[in-house]
Structure 1
Amino acid sequence: MVSICCKQWCVFGTGTFFVLAAGILLIIWPSIFRSIIKDELVLTNNSRSFDMWKETPIPMYLEIYLFNFSNYAEFKMDRKKIKPYFQECGPYIFSEKHFKTNLTWNNNNDTITFMQNRIWQFEADMSNGTLEDKITNINVITATVAYNLRFKHILIRHAVDFLLREKKELLVITKTPRELLFDGYDDPIIDMMEDLNVTTFNIPYNKFGWFYPRNDSSSYDGVFNMHTGVDKLKNLGKLYSWNYQNETKFYEKNSVCNMINGTTGEIWPPFGKAKQLTLFISDFCRSVTLNYAENYDKHGLVGRKYIGTESVFDNGTAYPEASCFSNGEILPSGVLNVSLCRMGAPAFVSYPHFYLADPVYRSNIDGMKPNKSLHEMFMALEPNTGLPLEVRAQLQINIMIQDYEGISLFKDLQRTFVPMMWFRQTAELTGELADEAKTVVLIPMIGNYTFYGFGGIGFLIIAIGLYLSLSGAWMKKDELLIKPNDDSTSHHEEYTPYHSS
């Protein structure tokens, strides 16, 4: 017969074992998960994430919308009274692929140096229009020349005005999307500056095009130096330098606006419930911070959505700390002066259709229709792995024109930020990649379920043991087993009847 003491030790010991196992699991599982995540995410020659980063597997597209100055014929008849109308054309859609090249591993500080090659291919079936459409808008070359001469002596401006008229330059040009985007087009002013070796206007190419000569170029975006996450996983993807510098030189000197912060947007460390994420945009030589908005579900993966707010393109009007982005002239909130970053052109960046910008930018032009659902910039990421679920980066390039004394092309023009084009870069996680990611994402849940399972079983066993002990059920069971043996003789005694003598 097993004693009551042995039974109690067995029951309470088993329950305690499960409870202790749950406690140990609770303590060590986060470390196990972090170790698994680190092995999966850090960049090394043979890590899984390296191949995905080196050649991005997520399908990406570049949607480009060009603005056509559709009432220019009427406008040039009376510049003071006719409001320019800009008609959105497109989208012209290009598939996009990214490749990392010229890789150098820096083991001394756990970083990797690389260049980026982007290849775009026109997708005619997905586009609304062809690359042979005709688009009329401001002549960026003449606008750049006038802008760079705005503080020069009036005699210099008169001399340049003579050259512009002699070269038959116009305020506007009509070109095809093919020329405006990737192929570029010739311009007599560029040819003249190249022949005379003039560097005042800082145009390093023999043609002009918004993306010329960027297609299939490994040098255009510059040289990046990025943390691999080997030292600390939280540093994964964060830039250490760009073009061998820790800060840019395109905004106020010695200011935070020149700091190179964040990632390139393609690889992220686990960030949990961070309220903000920062990425560096080399096109505009600056970092941009996005703010958490809401949770976001994609193929069963729950991520966090971060959006661009008014603060991204403020230059000191609404957010004084952003005044160092103004380049000496604080404008109404909503546009960012990137002229120094874009080779001296009077280029100002905003959200499409001046979404979230001060209404003054839409007051002297027609055709702008800002819409949150169409023009909001956002990216949704899975917080445990940093995996991008969906990205929609969209920006608009505007050229500033105004009356420059001495240059007749711009006579009687009020200051206007002319929308030239806006583009949307999209990337969306596929179902196949989502299924692979779920394996890693479910690891914390497996640990939690195991913890609760072990803990629940342990406490249930202990509770049963306590009940049996306090109710005396074990004692009663033993008594029932003993009593039949004690009374056995009485059941087998022979009956003797009573006889009287």
Structure 2
Amino acid sequence: MARGKCCVYATGALSVLLLLVSIILLVANIFQSAVEREIQQETVLKNATETFQLWENPPPPIYLQFYFFNVTNPMEVLAGETPIVKEIGPYTYREFRKRIDVQFLVNATDVSALNLKTFVFDQEKSVGDPNVDLIRTVNVPFVIVMEMVKANIWLSTLIESILKTYKEGMFVTRSVHELLWGYEDELLAFIHVVKRDVDPVFGFFYKRNETDDGEYVFLSGIDNYLDFSKIVTWQGNKTLNWWTSDTCNMINGTDGNSFHPLISKEETLYMFLTDICRSVYMTYQNSQSIKGITAYRFILPSKILANLTVNPDNAGFCVPAGNCYGSGVMNIGVCNHGAPLFVSAPHFYQADDKYINDIEGMHPNQEKHESFLDINPLTGIIVRASKRLQINVLVKQNPDYTIPQNIRTLIFPLMYMDENTLIDDESAEKLRSIVLKTSVIANIPFMIMVLGIMFGVIFIVLTCRKQPAKEEQGTADERASLIRSS
């Protein structure tokens, strides 16, 4: 009997003890802090570590897909009618990235490297053969040269006679391969004779295969995990010099390939993109689950390419100062040898309606045309991502030339790119294992609390269990009813 009571009391005492311990651990945040400290310490660029190997040579496959806008009514466009374009694509290339010439600097706090990119055509993920398929599009070299010599009447006259000789005009038909990787243009070749810095070859990705975009110096994260892989300098510079304000010339964040761990929904993720010659940022949209991995989705907000009336900070991207365009497009000619090129989201997604309505065949769609980043908040590892950019050119009438005829002034879409990645199965399995391990450790206080509750329930059941009735005592007369019948 006494032993049973001891067991009951021991169960109750153990329940209270476990509950107290769990509450103390939760308030002190011991296990969660331990997990976070371990992750912070491991997310540092050091030789021969797994973090460094993943940073140096990312394992998930990356694909760069190109979509072209084929012009179906070129003669009508020259006469001033609305252009009609048809999207053709994708033409897909497997993209291999590797950081080379890696050197540790300044007591291992800084790391310099080159980002080497190589592209290999993937027929299975493409709609056709880039060497055979032809695209009719705006003759970008023509537009560039027209802009280049517009102030020189003598040279303008000479150029127009050359155009007539070579029968070049506002539109050109070239293969996908030529448009991407380059072809010699007769007009550029002529200009090259006079102006040696003008390359006679034109292509959207000319000289970008098996090349890098300049030396980066990154922070290793050894001093602060929040600085992991942040850019210190690019091509030897801490800031840019293309834009007209200090804010717009800032180099912020990482290069978009790596991010620090322990990301919160309230964070703003910054990255520097050489494709568009500027820094951008992404904000939290929602949570995702990819291959069983929790991820936060971050997107490029519309303010990134908004007109200065919507986002005054973008005034510095108006070059020359005050020469601003509507929301959704950005002039990048200043970092592309003065070519009248503009960047936007595909199909002018989130751009002013006028750009969409000027071209028949534009169908902006959030799911297809929005750039996003799905990132595991615990580790900072990218699980899925898609960077989508459209290249456009400004075409307009020029009274000094007869060839453009009556064409309207337009931001004309040429092609767009979708650079995307999805974590491979092997990497996903490793990441799930890491997340599970850290989750178990972080939830130890809750496990202790559950045990305390279980023992508490057992204690209550034991103490409330029905006790056996005591044996009745007394004589028969004493137990008889007080009211007796006669």
Match of 2:87 in 1: 88
- Percent identity over paired residues: 28
Q: Which residue does 1:59 correspond to in 2?
A: 61
Q: Aligned to 2:236, which of 244, 248, 251?
A: 244
Partners of 2:249 and 2:158 lie apart in 1 by 36
* 1:417-428 map, 5 Å: 417-428=411-422
Structure 1 SS opposite 2:97: strand
- CA shift digits 1:259-298 (9 cap, x unpaired): 1112212111121223432221111111122222111110
- Conserved in 1, the CA contact under 8 Å of 2:145 and 2:188? no
Asked if 1:313 is matched to 2:305, the reply is yes
Aligned to 2:380: 386
Q: For structure 1, list consecutive stretches of 5 or more residues without a partner in the other structure.
A: 481-501
Cα deviations by residue, 1:11-51 (Å, 9 ceiling, x for unpaired): 78755654565356443212321232134432211221211
Q: Report if aligned partners of 1:39, 1:47 keep a CA contact under 8 Å in 2.
A: no
1:495 paired residue number: none
Partner Cα separation in structure 1 for residue 9 and residue 374 of structure 2: 53
Q: Does 1:264 align with 2:255?
A: yes
Task: Spell out, residue by residue over 1:182-212, the C-alpha distance to the aligned partner (whole angstroms, 9 max, x if none).
Answer: 2x1112333234333444xxx4x44111111
Matches of 2:3 and 2:174, distance apart in 1: 98
**Other structure's SS at 1:452 match:** helix
Inter-CA distance 193–48: structure 2 relative to 1 (3 Å threshold): same
1:426 Cα deviation after fit:
0.9
- 2:123 corresponds to 1:124: yes
Residue 295 of structure 1: which of 268, 281, 287 is its match? Answer: 287
Counterpart of 1:387 in structure 2: which amino acid?
I
Larger Rg: 1
Q: Are the aligned partners of 1:315 and 1:325 in contact in 2 as well (CA < 8 Å)?
A: no
Kindly report which structure 2 residues correspond to 1:486-497, keeping only aligned pairs within 5 A, or say none. none
Aligned equivalents of 1:463 and 1:55: distance in 2? 54
Give SS of 1:258's match.
Answer: coil
1:18-167 matched pairs, under 5 angstroms: 18-19=18-19, 21-22=21-22, 25-26=25-26, 27-76=29-78, 79-80=79-80, 82-108=81-107, 110-131=109-130, 132-149=132-149, 152=151, 154=153, 157-158=156-157, 160-162=159-161, 164-165=163-164
The answer for the alignment partner of 1:446 in structure 2 is 440
CA contact 1:111–1:227 (8 Å) conserved in 2: yes
SS at match of 1:417: strand
| Correspondence for 1:173 | 172
Contact kept, 8 Å, 2:169 with 2:404, in 1: the verdict is no
Q: What is the rounded CA distance, in whole Å, between the counterparts of 1:333 and 1:322 in structure 2?
A: 10
Given residue 186 of structure 1, which amino acid in structure 2 is its aligned partner?
A: E
Give the corresponding residue for 1:370.
Answer: 364
Which of 317, 324, 333 is the matching residue for 2:327?
A: 333
Q: Tell me, what secondary structure is at the counterpart of 1:323?
A: helix
TM-score by length of 1: 0.83
Aligned to 1:497: none
Stretches of structure 2 lacking an aligned partner (at least 5 in a row): 471-486
Q: TM-score, normalised to structure 2's length?
A: 0.86
How many Å apart are 1:156 and its aligned residue?
Answer: 5.7
The separation in 2 between residues aligned to 1:465 and 1:363, in whole angstroms, is 74
Separation in structure 1 between the aligned mates of residue 64 and residue 4 of structure 2, nearest angstrom: 76
Distance of aligned partners of 1:7 and 1:127 in 2 relative to their CA distance in 1, 3 Å threshold: closer
1:386 Cα deviation (Å)? 1.1
Q: How far, CA to CA, are the matches of 2:144 and 2:85 in structure 1? A: 20
Residue in structure 2 matching 1:191, options 189, 192, 195:
189
- Write the distance in 2 (CA, Å) between the matches of 1:432 and 1:140: 43
Task: Find the residue that maps to 2:303 and give its secondary structure.
Answer: helix
1:375 is displaced (CA, Å) by 1.1
The structural deviation recorded for 1:138 is 1.4
What's the counterpart of residue 352 of structure 1?
346
Q: Which amino acid aligns with 2:241?
A: K
- In structure 1, what is the Cα distance between the partners aligned to 2:83 and 2:136? 12
